[in-house]
Amino acid sequence: MEGIARRAGTAKTVLYRRWATTHELLIDALAQTCPVEVPSPGANDLRGDLIAALTLLTDWMQTASAGAVLAITSERHRYPELAEALYRKVFDPRGGTFTTTVLQHYVANGQVDPKRLTPITTQIGEALVFKLAIDLDRRPAAEELAAIVDEALLPALGVG
C-alpha cells in the first residue's frame, strides 16, 4: 500500500479506509477497467456485434489490467480467494465472457435460440482468440476475428 499511496500522492490511511488489502484494491481497479461489450440496441447485427466484442477483447488484451488478470488466473492455486473475487466481482457482473452480453441480448430479442447458449458456446470466441494469440504470438487480426465468428460461433449458435 505504501507504493500505491506514494504514486497516488496520498496517505496510506486514506487507502486503508477504503480497502483493507491490496487484493481488494486490485479487484476494484480491475472492475473499473475491464470493458463490457455493448450490443446494437435493435439486435439486428449479431455478426457485427460478435466481431465488435472480440475486437474489444483483443484491444483489452494489450492493457495492464489484462496482464494483472493473467497473473491472477495463472496463480489461482496460490491465491484462490483472489481468483474467486476476480470472477465474482469483475467477470460475472459483465456476463462472464466478452461475448455473453451480446449473446444474451440476442436471445432476449428472439434472434438466438436460448438452448444454444451453453457454457461452451459462450466461451468459443474467447477461447479461439486466446488460442490464436498464443500460437501466432500476436493479437489476432480483424479477418481472423471475423473467421472465428463466421466459422465457429455462428454455426454453433445455429445462425447463418
> Tens digit of pLDDT for each residue in 54-82?
999 999 999 999 999 999 999 999 999 99
pTM score of the predicted model: 0.85
Cα-based distances in Å from 79 to 18, 25, 91, 139: 21, 15, 17, 28
Q: Can you give the residue ranges of every domain in the chain?
A: 36-62+98-156
CB 122 within 8 Å of CB 96: yes
Alpha-helical runs (H) found in 19-123: 22-33, 46-60, 64-74, 80-86, 100-108
Amino acid at 150: D
Measured CA to CA, the distance from residue 75 to residue 78 in angstroms comes to 5
Q: pLDDT band at 2, cuts 50/70/90?
A: confident
- Residue 16's pLDDT band (boundaries 50, 70, 90)? confident
Closest CA to 143 of 41, 10, 54, 63: 54
109 burial via Cβ count (<10 Å: 0-12, 13-18, 19+): middle
* Residue 19 DSSP code: -
**Contact call for residues 148 and 136 (beta carbons, < 8 A):** no
Q: What is the pLDDT of residue 125?
A: 97
